[in-house]
Structure 1
Amino acid sequence: MRKAVLLLFVFFILISCRSLKNHNEQITKLHDVIDLHEDIDKVYSQLKRHHPKLYQYTSKEVLDFKFDSLKRTIITPINSREFYKKLAPVISQVKQGHISLSSANKWYTKKERKQLLKKKFEFYALDFEYLENKLWVKNTRGKDSTMVGSEVVKIEEDLVSDLIDLYKTRFSSDGYNTTLHNRYVGRHFSNFYYKDKGFVDSLRVTFKKKDSLFIKTFRRLKKKEKPKKQDSTKTKKRIKLTSEEKKANRLASKKKRKFNRKHGFIKKNKEYTRNFGFVKKAKDVAYMKLRSFTNGSYKKFYKESFAKLDSAKTKYLILDLRDNGGGRIAEIDYLYSYLTKDKYKFIEDSEVNSRVPFLKFLMSNTTPNSLKILSGIVSPIIIVQNLIRTRKQDGKLYYRFRQTKVRTPRPLHFAGHIYVLINGNSFSASSLISTHLKATKRATFVGEETGGAYNGTVAGIYKIYELPNTKLKIRMGMMQVEAPQKQNPDGYGVKPDIEILPTVNDRNLKRDSELEWVLNDIKEKR
């Protein structure tokens, strides 16, 4: 028995090593033109099969021409990374922000990953922002803060302005919106550079600050090892805690864990997803900053926050959705029930391309085999549930979420005046809840047009498909998620009532111009 288990283990190790080797060879080799054309046909075929609004913003004739033109331009063999650079701009012409294409990256052995984890790349400690057509260092998670406020001029021999223009062609917002491009390309610049150039051990970057140029080389350095715990037998004896003290420590740890779950602790940045407080200890003005609708247990946070608003008889609520990329429909529906004064229907039935969308989502070629087996076992339940919730109308299929039911506001809903801060990075779910607040004239919007469309977006669940030859992966939404309200023309975001764009000078002075305007407006209303 032991020998059989050992042989099985060795077999899986050999298969895994072989798979890793094959993948790395596949993405680095030059692919035949016929194979590249096959991948182009495959990706377009997948989009036609699963995306319910493929031709919403770009006509079929134009998209057909774009994909055919791409095939005509590829006349010599290229590797997977170069193919990504050609394919991504064509896919972006669909103009659906939830479609994304990943570059082909090397796989590493367990030993290699372990060694990489022992190092950190200094460049990744920088946070960027794109303002006034320039890339700036907004923040650093490293010890060197002197670069904050510096303009990034060159990386190696590439002008950053050229890189920005190039990267903007490789993704899209919903429809014809442009504000997402400037915000998103700045916030995710490091990721775009990695997809473009691949793994590097060092980068020579040219900065500009106060009309002076300086160069800094970023390296992949070993992380500082944590000091080893001292042997208690060789040092003075550890102080014994009483049972009451141990109990108090356990309760404190438990309380901290609950707080982190409720507020959605982000370990990487050491900050919280959900934040709430009163402005300058004035109970009539409250500020709620929501970085996303993705992590943590949200219900208790909103229950407690709106109970405080009710108790303090707060008149003004500032809801900050800037740089909120979206998340769960259930969470924004729950939040909206505390913001509205009237009965509401949060979303319409979602248009889909299949009667069993969740089974299609689970049975992708990127789904692990173990999950496919499990999905196969429970598929009868999934199919029945999908068929019950799917209906056909006017030749189209629609899937019904729980949030399509008419609901009433929460008993402790906020009745005062709401201000919503938005920008180009307000996307997906944050745009959806903004649509409701805008359409019902429930709030005053300050900032810039959201990156997500007013009339909805294709998201919900995602199909991730790996191209057979180049191994690039495309992710696409499978459900049209939209509020009952619509605007004309289609293809634009929720626009602010008061447009305020941040400037470089604002950042240097650590001034929040949008929030400042709101506080001044409240002061006048008082």
Structure 2
Amino acid sequence: MKRLKNGLLIILLLLAGKVSAQIDTTYTPSKTYTQTQLVDDLTFLKNVLIEAHASLYRYQSKAALDSAFINAAAMINKPMTEIEFWRVLQPVIAGIRSGHTGLFYSRAYINWQNKYPVDHLTPFLTVQDGKLLLRIKSAKDTSKRYILTVKSIDGLPSDQIITTLKKYVSGEDLSEQWTDYQLQGVGFSSVYGNVFGYKPVYDLEVMDTLNRNSTLHLKAFHAKRTMGADQIKELLEKTKDELNKVVSVDYPTAVPSTAVLKIKGFSYFNYYQGFHEQFFKRMQDDKIKNLVIDIRGNTGGLPVVGGDLMRYLIKNEFTQIEAAQIPVNKITFNDYILHDAGNDQPQKTTDKVQPYNYSWRQLPKLYPAAEYHFDKNIYLLVDKGTFSAASIFAASLKNQCKVTVIGEETGGAEAGSDGGFSTIRLPNSGLLLHLPRYWESTTASDHHSKHGLIPDIVVKNYITAEKHDAVMEKVKELILSSLNKAK
């Protein structure tokens, strides 16, 4: 199977998906596991990470991880349910700062939840600049929307809620961009429910733009069927044909000789070569002078798609992924890899027993397209939702091509990204670990960067009652200004 760079899956595993599944009628979330079982799972999880995680100590020290596991062990002082155990372990996983690493509920729990949907908090909440905002419709005119600042939920202050939830979200590198991206919409509702529990009605203390306070009693909503962490392969296969869902092209009339290519995900594997060739042929035929590539909210997919796109943008031979760092330790958990999930091959193993050894594999150069090469003005739009294969594309394109990057810091790390995944079942609790098997470096000049790609021009889209794309407005301003100067 092709190498997968499916950062988008971390979001999708939290969100809703339409999945049919057999229901385990014997399972209930109230089932508890003994302290011995839980400690055994904790030890198993630590060994898996040390043996095989692709970038375990990239953003934290060994001492910090060891301390996190000691603290987690101290919290296992009684029998626990699966959900209670997840609340102990996920902060340890989140501390690795690998956005591709996550701990998810067992398939049995997901099946139960699909049969008995839980009461989610409203999906219209978003964390922005340390505040919790709520988008609501006007009761009198549903076409109008308002933005309210949420001061508390069920009496708990919003700043405390945000601080707590961030401990459970697998962020990327040392910035908060990818973490904040996951704490919006249904993502916020899912994490909130996992951490604080679910209830049929939530009380929100809110403040409007005139600083008037009020309390909203919001009824819960039932999410659609939830996808389990062991159904990655099924999801990826479905998205390979969805060209029209993830790619769009626009030629704005207000900006002459300009094309806007919006790519929501690098997942259209079955169409990418033909589409790219035809797109750049039309660019040449129409004498387009300004190309805007919008990968905001593009959470990744298959790196080969981004690599092919780069063939039409870079003149000489180039590199999208410089090298892969691969663990080469003795592996003891092959029997617990779910072989119907994602990249389901067993982990490679050696006779070495010293943990955290790696090998580096250099990747070959790529070559530009023979025809339809675009050598005019390129504008690349990024934000905190630009992750995984998309952030690799952005960082490597920026380093090898004349391009103006606009927007906000990417959610994915500038220096590289984890990839190639396995799903491992914890022996007793059945919790599922999403584990990256190698780390891939971009061509960024700073190979030790611990943040996302910083745009040349930083522009942030703030949540407002009316739709307004400040980033696109800035692009139009730049293009029109350059046209006026050329006259």
- TM class by shorter chain equals 0.7 to 0.9
CA displacement at 1:502 relative to structure 2: 2.6
Q: Work out which of the residue numbers 500, 512, 518 in structure 1 matches 2:459.
A: 500
Q: Distance in 2 between matches of 1:499 and 1:282?
A: 21
Aligned to 1:294: 267
Quote how far apart the aligned CAs of 1:499 are: 1.4
The 3 A distance-change label for structure 1 pair 138 and 350 is: farther
- Shift of residue 192 of structure 1? 1.0
Are 1:466 and 2:425 matched, yes or no?
yes
Residue 75 of structure 1 deviates from its aligned partner by: 2.6
Asked whether the equivalents of residues 51 and 479 of structure 1 are also in contact (C-alpha less than 8 Å), the reply is: yes
Alpha carbons of structure 1 residues 148 and 293: separation in structure 2 relative to 1, 3 Å = farther
Give the 5 Å matches for 1:213-232: 213-220=214-221
Which stretch shifts more, 482-491 or 514-523? 482-491
Deviation, 1:282, is 4.3
Query: Structure 2: which 5+ residue stretches go unaligned?
Result: 1-21, 225-238, 350-356
Aligned residue number for residue 75 of structure 1? 77
Residue 366 of structure 1 pairs with residue 338 of structure 2: yes
Q: Provide the residue aligned with 1:436 in structure 2.
A: 396
Q: CA deviation at 1:433?
A: 0.6
Work out whether 1:520 is the aligned partner of 2:480.
Answer: no
Query: How far has the Cα of 1:163 moved from its partner?
Result: 2.1
Q: Is the 8 A contact 2:52 2:329 kept in 1?
A: no
Residues 414, 170 of structure 1: CA spacing in aligned structure 2 closer, same or farther, 3 A cutoff? same
Q: Deviations over 1:358-394 (max 9, x none)?
A: xx98x644335xx99xx8xxx9xx99xx99xxxxxxx
Match among 277, 283, 287 for residue 303 of structure 1 = 277
Q: Which residue of 1 aligns with 2:232?
A: none
> Within 2, Cα distance between the matches of 1:105 and 1:427?
26
CA distance in 1, matches of 2:203, 2:54: 44
- Cα deviation code 1:157-216 (max 9, x no counterpart): 433332221111112333212222223212421221232245544444444433342514
* Equivalent residue, structure 1, for 2:68: 66
Q: How many residues align?
A: 433
Q: Which runs of 5+ in 1 are unaligned?
A: 1-15, 224-259, 266-271, 388-394
Structure 1 Cα separation of the partners of residues 68 and 120 of structure 2: 39
- Cα deviation for residue 495 of structure 1 reads 0.8
Matched, 1:457 2:414: no
Q: How far apart, in 2, do the equivalents of 1:493 and 1:425 lie?
A: 11
Indicate the residue corresponding to 2:322 in structure 1: 348
Tell me, what secondary structure is at the counterpart of 1:94? Answer: coil
Could you tell me the TM-score, scaled by structure 2's length? Answer: 0.77
The 5 A counterparts of 1:411-422 are: 411-422=371-382
Q: Which has the higher helix share?
A: 1
Kindly report which structure 2 residues correspond to 1:37-52, keeping only aligned pairs within 5 A, or say none.
37-52=39-54
Are the counterparts in 2 of residues 278 and 287 from structure 1 also a CA contact under 8 Å?
yes
Q: What are the superposed Cα offsets for residues 36-63 of structure 1, whole Å, 9 maximum, x if unpaired? A: 2222111111112221321222222321
Compared CA separation, residues 288 and 478, structure 1 to 2 (3 A): same
Confirm or deny: 8 A CA contact 1:438 1:494 kept in the other structure.
no
Q: Which moved more, 1:430-439 or 1:52-61?
A: 52-61
**Inter-partner Cα distance in structure 2 for 1:473 and 1:29:** 17
Select the residue among 302, 323, 326 that pairs with 2:297: 323
1:447 matched to 2:434? The reply is no
Higher-Rg member (1/2): 1
1:509 and 1:478 map into 2 onto residues whose CA distance is 43
> What code does the residue aligned with 2:399 have?
A
Q: 1:304 aligns to what SS in structure 2?
A: helix
Q: In 1, Cα distance between the equivalents of 2:75 and 2:130?
A: 31
Secondary structure in 1 matching 2:33? coil
- For residues 52 and 93 of structure 1, the distance between their equivalents in structure 2, rounded to whole angstroms, comes to 15
Q: CA deviation at 1:511?
A: 2.1
Q: Distance in 2 between matches of 1:62 and 1:291?
A: 36
AA partner of residue 503 (structure 1) = Y
* TM-score after normalising by structure 1: 0.72
How has the CA–CA distance of structure 1 residues 108 and 323 changed in structure 2, closer, same or farther, with 3 Å as cutoff? closer
Within 5 A, what are the aligned runs for 1:384-399?
A: 396-398=358-360
State the Cα RMSD in Å.
Answer: 3.7
CA distance, structure 1, for counterparts of residue 146 and residue 108 of structure 2: 32
User: SS at the partner of 2:378?
Assistant: strand
How far the C-alpha of 1:512 sits from its partner, in A, is: 1.5
Instruction: Check the 8 A contact 2:255/2:479 in 1, yes or no.
Output: no
Q: Identify which of structures 1 and 2 has the higher relative contact order when contacts are C-alpha pairs closer than 8 Å and 6+ apart.
A: 2
Deviates more, 1:411-420 or 1:64-73: 64-73
Q: 1:245: which partner in 2? A: none
Report the CA distance shift for 1:426/1:215 in structure 2 as closer, same or farther (over 3 A).
same
SS in 2 for 1:279: coil
Conserved in 1, the CA contact under 8 Å of 2:320 and 2:442?
Answer: yes
C-alpha distance in 2, partners of 1:137/1:275?
A: 29
Which residue in 1 is equivalent to 2:367? 407
Kindly indicate whether residue 287 of structure 2 is the aligned counterpart of residue 285 of structure 1.
no
What SS does structure 2 have at the residue aligned with 1:83? helix
How far is 1:498 from its partner? 1.1
Q: Name the residue aligned to 2:173.
A: 175
Cα distance, 1:470 vs structure 2: 2.7
Rounded to whole Å, the distance in 2 between the matches of 1:316 and 1:150 is: 38
Letter in 2 for 1:294: S
- Pick aligned residue for 2:129 from 114, 118, 132: 132
| Distance in 1 of aligned mates of 2:383 and 2:223 | 37
Distance of 1:89 and 1:282 partners within structure 2: 47
Structure 1 pair 472–421 and aligned structure 2 pair: CA distance change class (3 A): same
In structure 2, the residue matched to 1:190 is: 189
Preserved contact between residue 415 and residue 441 of structure 2 (Cα < 8 Å) = yes
Q: Whole-Å Cα distance in 2 between the matches of residues 132 and 176 of structure 1?
A: 16
Tell me: CA distance 1:219–1:168, structure 2 relative to 1, closer, same or farther (3 Å). closer
Distance 1:355 1:172, change over 3 A: closer
1:28 aligned to 6, 27, 30, which one?
30
- What are the Cα deviations for residues 1-49 of structure 1, in whole angstroms up to 9, with x where unaligned? xxxxxxxxxxxxxxx87x641x42xx52343333222221111111122
Aligned to 1:235: none
- C-alpha separation between the residues in 2 aligned to 1:303 and 1:422? 23
CA contact (8 A) 1:184 1:424 kept: no
CA distance in 2 between partners of 1:32 and 1:40 (Å): 12
Whichever residue aligns with residue 525 of structure 1, its letter is S
How far is 1:415 from its partner? 0.9
| Matched-pair contact (CA < 8 Å) for 2:280–2:312 | yes
